[in-house]
Amino acid sequence: MELFIGLKEINSIENKGNKKYFSSIVSPVVCNQTLKLIMHQHNNLAFKINRNAQKFENRFTKILIDTINLIPICMLPILGFGQDSTNENDSKELIAHPLNGIELHLDGIVDEELWLSIPGNDDFLMQEPKEGGQPTEQTKVRIAFDDQNIYIAVVCYDSNPSDIKAFQKKRDASLETDDNFGFIFDTFMDKRSAYFFEINPFGLRGDALISPGQSGTFNKDWDGIWKAWTHIGDFGWSAEIRIPFRSINFDSKNDAWGINFRRTIRRKNEELLWAGHRRNQGLFRPQNAGILTGLADPSQGLGLEIIPYAITQSSKEYDKDNDAATSSTSADLGFDINYNITSQLKASFTYNTDFAQAEVDNRQINLTRFSLRFPEQRDFFLEGSSILQFAPSSGVDPYFSRRIGLVNGMRVPIKYGGRIIGNVGKNNIALLHVRTGKMGELNPENFTIGRYRRNFWKESSIGVIYTHRSTEDDIVLSNPVQDRKTWGADLNLSTSEFLGNKRLQLSAFFVAHNPASLSDNFTSISDRSVRGFRLNFPNKPWSGNVSYREFGDEYDPAVGFNQRNGFKRLQPGIKYAPLFDKSKLIREIEWGIEYEYLTSLGNKPLTEYLGFNLGTIRFESGDKLGVQVSRSFEYLNEDFDILNDSSVVVPLGEYVNWGYEIEASSASFRKISGSIAYEAGGFWTGDISSLVLGLTIRPAPGINLSSGYTHTKVSAMNSGFNTNLFQLDLGLDFTPDISISSNIQFDDVSEVLGTNTRFRWIITPGTDIFFVYNHNWLNSETLARRLTTLQEVGVVKAIYTYRF
């Protein structure tokens, strides 16, 4: 009820814009009085503790939950206060200059007369190593535009250009190793979402979509169509960047965008920001960006984009029992069509969708009782996925795109799909529909997802989500089902002006679904729902959060992801991470405490975790060293078969264990870098130790060799086992547009050795050719050969983009 009242008052605030009116309705005084009233009601029963200890325990738990549930309404006046005040970066402006018919020669050298006639903006400040300090090297930025493109020229001066760090060439590769320059466009000036772009001295292109939320969403799998040219000289390095207006959505009625820049000087681990230089701000927060003015009449053309593709595939499946093989060859066509209904709203249709070029999942060995969550890597589901995010950081996923077209890791054919994603004023809209085909005993299915989010105040929003899954003939693997529907609502309150310039965030959510079976007449909406909230204080040096969640016993969203049911969970945590700006050895040390208390819905303790970060040291050199200690309690209400083969079974009961972890890593900008982590402690009836090693070698720019090894040793009552996981990534990047990568993985639980090799050639941005080869072997002592081929697949795929 408290949350409902709070939402009602939010609407009143948005309509009336009167903070005094809000404070008179919901104030800390009212909250305090309400808390006192609750405590008074419960105190009448609390004095009977001696007669009934169990009753007091239940009553105390209820008091705690009642108090926790009051937090959302008590925080509303705090989060609403100051929402109309002026941001300290609003005065920082940059003017975009029109080309007026001038044709630029783009080669990365900023020597054209137009660029030299524009004053370079060099008003950067340090974020690290000294917050607010003056940069050790100068950076100048200039911006121009015509009716089709926006152009950025940047000169990164360097007093020692021979020490510039540049290893990577592959598109979207991590630039933790390199000098780099990044920037964002908040094209709607809503200080919530933004487009992110970054380059390095070799012209590597990286991009992402930034969306709001407690931790923010950084979707680097989005690939925009744009181009960058770079040059390294005795002055440092420079770049010219061209971004077509057709590659981004924007408010055509507004001639101003939010903008910000960041430069990293890697050998010094120096971070420079044009705006938002404080440690709790940064490039990824559009709230702290400056303003780009002067944009006049940018055009997206007709806003129509047609992307046909052709694919041919050859595969061979081996039957190890009968020593026989089945071969198949196929060729197919498909296409995507995108149309900008407005400059802010895009409609898309996909036919005969294929994701053969998607990278394989990184393998994991699961020694827990719960499912593992793997990330989405398919382009169609990645674009616009930020709007579909629901209550980020709260651990609830009513929509998880890998439930569409994937079953137990196997691909189900997608016949067609459509979506509408974008903004209409303060409204964020996402509609998605996908039809999958028949595969084996799986019948065709329809998936529909709808998401609506309304922005209010500077950084807050309220939204709803709906999913619908229907199966042809209402049969799933011989089991009768009905249409499965899930609905939910989430509230996100946020301010960057708490106590002046601190960030404070509150999110709350509720999700429920109907029964999967028509014969289900025994579960309630409470059994099939989840609810909770999260309060976050993400600042530096102090940060903290507290979250509370309840998951019903039968919660299982048909298009979502869930690991565990039937619990209440309270999770507070606090961190302290000061900078040592006067030290020549240490950059930062972080200390922290994390706590988790999880009970059944009947308040029986199931899990308790207390973790201490005794110190994670970040050195000036870029190296890291950390030590953690933890205590855990687990209650098993049934036997736990760890390997699912009855070889190691943990009996039901209560278990308390202590553990520790030591981890260290060297700076990634070195030609040879590595990491090591060792963890040991109690594990159910015995002990566990885990060693994780990583090694990366970069002998020359564009060549990356990374390897990883994880060894786990488990001892249990009268039993035990070891597991080993090997991973090797080989990357050969000839240019930012031509690359070969190979991923090799093996673990001795599945005994499968797998390789995934990909060649990608970006002929022009939007036009790609892929060659993909996958090969899996089974390692078995019982077969004639130790490594027996299970599967071979070869794929050639070509994609072309037409823009009108």
Q: Please write the tens of the pLDDT for every residue from 675-722.
A: 999 999 999 989 999 999 999 999 999 999 999 999 999 998 778 899
Range with the largest mean pLDDT of 299-308, 354-363, 376-385: 299-308
Question: Could you tell me which residue, 34 or 622, shows the higher pLDDT?
Answer: 622
Q: Please write the tens of the pLDDT for every residue from 542-561.
A: 999 999 999 999 999 999 99
Distance CA 276, CA 90 (A): 10
Please name every residue paired with 630 in a beta bridge, in sequence order, or none if there are none.
611, 659
Range with the largest mean pLDDT of 205-214, 243-252, 691-700: 691-700
| pLDDT exceeds 80 at position 449 | yes
Q: By mean pLDDT, which of 98-102, 321-325, 445-449, 794-798 is the weakest? A: 321-325
| pLDDT exceeds 70 at position 22 | no
pLDDT band at 73, cuts 50/70/90? low
704 to each of 22, 221, 223, 728, 739, how far by Cα in Å? 57, 20, 22, 11, 11
Q: What's the angle, vertex CA 575, arms to CA 570 and CA 580, rounded to 5? A: 175
DSSP 3-state of 799: strand
pTM recorded for the entire structure: 0.81
pLDDT value at residue 98: 95
pLDDT band at 212, cuts 50/70/90? low
pLDDT value at residue 216: 60
Cis? peptide before 77, omega within 30° of 0: no
Question: Could you tell me which residue, 367 or 748, shows the higher pLDDT?
Answer: 748
Tokens of 126: 């340090």
Sign of CA dihedral 385, 389, 395, 401: negative
Q: Please write the tens of the pLDDT for every residue from 131-143.
A: 999 999 999 999 9
Burial degree of 454 (CB within 10 A; 0-12, 13-18, 19+): middle
Distance CA 443, CA 163 (A): 59
pLDDT value at residue 539: 94
Residues in the chain: 804
Please name every residue paired with 201 in a beta bridge, in sequence order, or none if there are none.
none
pLDDT value at residue 162: 95
Instruction: Please choose, from the candidates 250, 248, 238, 163, the residue with its C-alpha nearest in 3D space to the C-alpha of residue 203.
Output: 238
Question: Could you tell me which residue, 68 or 13, shows the higher pLDDT?
Answer: 68
pLDDT value at residue 584: 92
Mean pLDDT over each residue of the chain, to the nearest integer: 86
Range with the largest mean pLDDT of 56-70, 213-227, 344-358: 344-358
| pLDDT exceeds 90 at position 12 | no
Instruction: Please choose, from the candidates 269, 242, 47, the residue with its C-alpha nearest in 3D space to the C-alpha of residue 180.
Output: 269
Q: Please write the tens of the pLDDT for every residue from 401-439.
A: 989 988 876 788 899 999 999 888 889 999 999 999 988
Q: What b/e readout covers 231-268, taking b as 16+ CB neighbours within 10 angstroms?
A: bbeeebbbbbbbbbbbbbbbbbeeebbbbbbbbbbbeb
| pLDDT exceeds 50 at position 105 | yes
Question: Could you tell me which residue, 407 or 181, shows the higher pLDDT?
Answer: 181
Please state, for a pLDDT cut of 90, what percent of the chain lies above it: 63
Tell me, what amino acid is at 226?
Answer: W
Tell me, what amino acid is at 789?
Answer: T
pLDDT value at residue 85: 43
| pLDDT exceeds 90 at position 442 | no
pLDDT band at 82, cuts 50/70/90? very low
Instruction: Please choose, from the candidates 421, 410, 486, the residue with its C-alpha nearest in 3D space to the C-alpha of residue 448.
Output: 486
Please state, for a pLDDT cut of 70, what percent of the chain lies above it: 86
| pLDDT exceeds 60 at position 494 | yes
Q: Please write the tens of the pLDDT for every residue from 754-778.
A: 999 999 999 998 899 999 999 999 9
| pLDDT exceeds 70 at position 800 | yes
Tokens of 3: 């949350």
Distance CA 384, CA 494 (A): 22
Give the DSSP per-residue string, 628-640: EEEEEEEEESS-E
384 to each of 248, 346, 373, 663, 735, how far by Cα in Å? 12, 10, 20, 36, 28
Tell me, what amino acid is at 37?
Answer: L
| pLDDT exceeds 50 at position 269 | yes
What residues have CB less than 8 Å from 259, skipping those under 6 apart?
A: 94, 183, 184, 185, 186, 289, 290, 291, 292
Q: By mean pLDDT, which of 44-58, 451-465, 516-530, 563-577 is the weakest? A: 44-58
pLDDT value at residue 530: 96
